[in-house]
Amino acid sequence: MTDPYESFAERYDLFFGPFDEHDPKTTEFFRTLFAHHHVHSVLDCACGTGRDLYLFHQLDCEVFGSDISAAMLAQAERNLASHHVSVPLDQADFRELPLTYAKEFDAVVCLSSAFFEMPDEVELRRALASMRGVLRDGGILVLTAGMSDRTWRDKPRFIPEVNRGDFTRLFVIDYFDAGARFNVVDLFHDPARKDMQVWSICYNRVFLRDDIEGALRKVGFHRYTFYGSYEFQPYDKEMSGMLIAVAEK
C-alpha cells in the first residue's frame, strides 16, 4: 500500500512552531482532562511526527506512539531524539491495535482529523472498536478534527495555515459529495528559496458530530462529550470551528 505521507513527512512540521512549544490552551486541555480521568499511560495511535507525544511526555505521562506511515514515524523518531526524549514507536494500523499492544492504556488519542482517513463508516467503526480494545475500563478515547458541522456547511475554499515572512502554507479545499480533498500549498519566499510545493490528501468521507456519535455508540461507548474548543466549550453545530470527542470506556 502506498503511503500518502511519504513525500510530506519531512515538511509536515512546517504547520507548527518549535517542536517543544505547544499552544498553551491545548496543553491545559490535556493537563486538565488527564488529571480528571486519572490518565497516566497514553497511546497516540496516529502520532505523525510526534509533537503530541512530546507534549504528553512533558505532562509526565507514560507515552506510546503508533502510526501507519513509516515516513511519519521516522520523522517522529528524529524529532524526539533531537529533544532527548525516548518514546516507544510502532508501525500499526489503528484499525488493528490489539495485534500490536497486549497492554491497556488509560487514554488513546487520535488527533488532527486522522480518522477522516477511514473511507466509510464501517472502517470508522473498525478503528474506534480497535482503539476501545486497548483501553482499560474507565479509560478515555480522544478524537479531534479540524472540520466541524459549521465548516462543512460554510465550505471555505482557502484557509491560511501559516503566513510568515519566509513561508506561507495554505489549505485549498475541493469539496465533493460526502468528502473533501485538502491541497496543502507551500510557498517558500525567503532569499535562499523561492518555490512552491503542493501535497494533497483526499478524504472520501468527512465524519461530523452525529456520524461520530453513531459510530461510538455502535462500538460500545455510551458516555461521551463533544467540545468545540480546547477551552472545554460545548460543541455547537452552528458555531464550533473544530470538534473534540472524549469517550469513556
What's the closest the beta carbon of residue 238 comes to ligand SAM, in angstroms? 26
Position 226: which residue type? Answer: F
Dihedral sign computed on CA atoms, order 185, 189, 190, 196: positive
User: Which cell numbers in the block locate residue 80?
Assistant: 524526539
Instruction: Report, in this order, helix, strand and coil percent for the chain, each rounded to 5.
Output: 30, 35, 35
132 near 215, Cβ under 8 Å? no
Residue nearest to ligand SAM (CB): 48
C-beta of 3 vs 237, nearer to ligand SAM: 3
Return the C-alpha cell found at 143: 478524537
Residue 110: CB minimum distance to ligand SAM, A: 7
- For ligand SAM, which is the closer residue by CB, 88 or 138? 88
φ, ψ for residue 98, nearest 5 deg: -60, -15
Choice between 12 and 235, CB closer to ligand SAM: 12
Cβ of residue 194: shortest distance to ligand SAM, in angstroms? 27
Grid coordinates belonging to 50: 510526534
**Which stretches of the chain bind ligand SAM, using CB under 6 A?**
5, 46, 48, 51-52, 67-69, 72, 93-95, 111-114, 117
Nearer to ligand SAM, 162 or 237 (CB): 162
Q: State the nearest-atom distance from the C-beta of 17 to ligand SAM, in Å.
A: 13
